[in-house]
Structure formats: C-alpha cells, structure tokens
Copies of this chain bind each other. A is one copy, B any other.
Amino acid sequence: MIPAGPERFASTRDRIEVTQGKAPTGKPRTKRPSASGVKMRDVARLAGTSTQTVSRVISRPELVAESTRQLVERAIVELNYIPNSAARLLASSASRIVAVIIPSLSATVYAQEVHHIVRVLEERSFSTLIGNSDYSQEREERLVQSFLERQPEGFILTGTEHTERTTALLKRSGVPIVETFDGDSPAMDMSVGFSNFQAGRTVAELFRTRGLSRLAFVGGRQDQDFRANARYAGYCDRLAQDGLAPVVRVELDLPMRQADGIAALDRVLAAEPLTQAIFFSADNMAISALLECNRRGIGVPDQIAICGFGNYDYGDALIPSLTTISVPFEEMGALAAREILARIDGDSERPRQTVMPFRLIRRGSA
C-alpha cells in the first residue's frame, strides 16, 4: 500500500503526474519547492473531479453524491493526500488550534491541567499550542503575541494578572479566553478557577479550630505568585477575625522545588522558633518539610502542624499523612477546554465564570 522506498523524500509519482509548484497556466516562472507534494488538485485530477468536490468530500461529505465521494476518497488514500491547513486557514479562518499558556510544565498541577486540556481538545480534533510563561507576565505577553499570529480559536491562560498589552491584544482579537486557577478576581472573558482566598481561610480555620495561634505561611514571591498571595490574604483574613496575624511569611523564588521546603522550614523556625503550624502553598514543599521534621524529631502535628496545598500523590502515603487542600485540577483543565469549544460551537450563553469547589483533606499532619 505505502511505497516502501528506502530513501527519505520518497515521492509518490507512481500513477499520475503530481503538481510541482508551477503555474498551471501562463509562463512558468522558476520553480517553487512544494512542501508536501500531493495537493488537492492532484486528488481532483485522479478522481476526475474539480478541487471543489474534493474539498466538499473532506469537509461536508453529505453534499456529494455517493459514487463521486467514493472516487475521491479512494484517490485521497491512493495518493496519501494530506490537506494543507495553512491554505485552509487562509481561505476559511478556522485554525482548529487552541493556545495554552501556563507558568511551567515542570509543576505537576499545570502539567495535570494541560494533560486534560489536550485530551478534551484532541477529542474534537483541535490542536494545542503550548507555552511556558515561566511565571513572567512579560513572557506571557510575548507568547500571546506570537500565538496570535497563528489565529487560534481560543486561549487558555493561567491566573487573572496580565500586562495591559496582553489584555488589550486578547480582547481586540475577539477570541474566546478562559483564565484558570483563579476564582477570586474578575476574568477578561470566561474563567474556570477556584477561590484561593477561601482556601487560605479554610486552612487558617483548621489551625484555629485546633487552638493554634502562632501560624506561618510559605509561598512564592509576592510579585510572582499571585495565587499564593490570595491564599495568604484569606489566611490573614481568618486570623484577623481572632485578632491575630501570621507570625512569619516566607517568600520563595518560583519555581519552588521540593528541596525549598526544608529551607523554608528553617526560615520559619529561625524567625519564630515557637511556630505552631505552617501552611505551605504547595504540597511538594510541605512533604519535604514534613519528612525533615520526622528526621529532626520535631513532632508533627503536635509540635508543628503542617498543611499543604494541591493533594499530591504521596501525601497520603507519608507518616503522618499530609493534611492538604484538594483542587480538581484535571476537571478544571477539562472544563476550560470545554468552555472554549462551546463558545466556538456558538453555544453562547453559558456560565462565564466557574468557581470549582476545593476540599480540605484532613489527615495526620494537622
């Protein structure tokens, strides 16, 4: 079926002459190398139809007579025809691309999210363009600009903090946009997130219920980690209710690596040796801090209670198991993708801002 020529660039000119990037009429200018080789015109020629009919067979087969359709389909297989999406896009403005920008694929939460975005989009044969902003709004802006050149039919971004230009570019483009991971702030267009503020409040509430009052917080730098800021704000808000405030806030450079958990623990204890509880804004740090406490003989949760965020895989396998906040990152990604698709499909009046529920997973460490 497929000619098994050993050389790369093997060509398919076995049955019919394949168009070779020349003007079909008029004086033949010098050659232009044709990218793929087989084009719609070749299929039409072999099938004995016009290109238009081939085009119809591909996009709206129900409009074509059964017999013609089979002829064309056979020609497509025969020639191994692969449509050129650039030409399609140029003529029809339907790129079937969705652009996704996240801070980093190295962070499990974003990788999970993207996995499910991609999964949902693939079901509908949309392709996914992926970009890492590296926690920088400037890089995000550059990515948006560069992706915009490809006319994506949707954008999925992380958070609601962007440069003015990013916002302006996106709004002007008229493309559906979903912002994820942030259910606290208003979105440009649509959003699928969760309340970081309430998550922080919930953890503070847990600690207060246990009668603890010297509470610390560990998260990313204020100017980088906006979601952690919101969690901190919620944390403070609940404490303020009892006339309290966090005794230490440790800010770490992003991306936060697992080992940073130990350093953070040290910084907390150096600043306030009598700290009774620590809220880590990511489980990986909480886990390494917890293991470090075990190693040092610091009792968890009695001497120091620990709560993480994200409900990573290993948390429940530790001793003590890790108390944490569980957020449905997979569902968030899947829904974000579905919202984009729904908008593309013209199902207009759907809920614009979805706030997903999170859960406090109460286990051994707090």
Chain A residues engaging chain B, CB cutoff 8 angstroms: 2, 4, 8-10, 12, 33, 35-37, 80, 82-87, 89-90, 93, 95, 104-106, 108, 111-112, 114-115, 118-119, 122, 125, 127-132, 134, 143, 145-151, 164-165, 168-169, 171-174, 189, 257-258, 284, 287-288, 291-292, 294-295, 313-314, 317-319
Residues of B within 8 A of A318 (CB): 291
CB atoms of B317 and A292 under 8 A apart: yes
CB atoms of B127 and A128 under 8 A apart: no
Shortest CB distance A23–B (Å): 14
Shortest CB distance A86–B (Å): 4
Docked Cα-Cα span, A2 to B84, in Å, equals: 35
Which residue in chain B gives the minimum CB-CB distance to A258?
Answer: B313
Docked Cα-Cα span, A33 to B93, in Å, equals: 9
Residues of B within 8 A of A295 (CB): 319
CB atoms of A36 and B151 under 8 A apart: yes
New contact pairs (5) apart from A85-B151, A114-B130, A125-B146, CB-CB < 8 Å: A85-B86, A106-B112, A108-B108, A129-B129, A288-B314
Residues of B within 8 A of A134 (CB): 119
CB atoms of A118 and B90 under 8 A apart: no
CB atoms of B130 and A150 under 8 A apart: no
Shortest CB distance A139–B (Å): 8
Residues of B within 8 A of A115 (CB): 104-106, 132
CB atoms of B148 and A8 under 8 A apart: no
Partner of A128, one of B82, B130, B287: B130
Docked Cα-Cα span, A131 to B114, in Å, equals: 10
Shortest CB distance A280–B (Å): 14
CB atoms of A122 and B132 under 8 A apart: yes
Residues of B within 8 A of A84 (CB): 90, 149, 151
Which residue in chain B gives the minimum CB-CB distance to A164?
Answer: B2
CB atoms of B105 and A111 under 8 A apart: yes
Docked Cα-Cα span, A122 to B134, in Å, equals: 11
CB atoms of A129 and B132 under 8 A apart: no
Docked Cα-Cα span, A291 to B322, in Å, equals: 14
Residues of B within 8 A of A189 (CB): 8
Docked Cα-Cα span, A87 to B168, in Å, equals: 24
Residues of B within 8 A of A105 (CB): 105, 111-112, 114-115, 118
Partner of A118, one of B130, B171, B257, B319: B130
Residues of B within 8 A of A132 (CB): 115, 118-119, 122
Partner of A294, one of B143, B164, B319: B319
Docked Cα-Cα span, A169 to B295, in Å, equals: 55
- 3 interchain residue pairs of minimum CB distance: A111-B111, A105-B115, A86-B89
CB atoms of A148 and B82 under 8 A apart: yes
Residues of B within 8 A of A168 (CB): 2, 4
CB atoms of A171 and B294 under 8 A apart: no
Residues of B within 8 A of A108 (CB): 108, 111
CB atoms of B86 and A90 under 8 A apart: yes
Shortest CB distance A158–B (Å): 14
Residues of B within 8 A of A80 (CB): 169, 172
Residues of B within 8 A of A151 (CB): 35-36, 84-86
CB atoms of A171 and B314 under 8 A apart: no
Shortest CB distance A320–B (Å): 12
Shortest CB distance A346–B (Å): 15
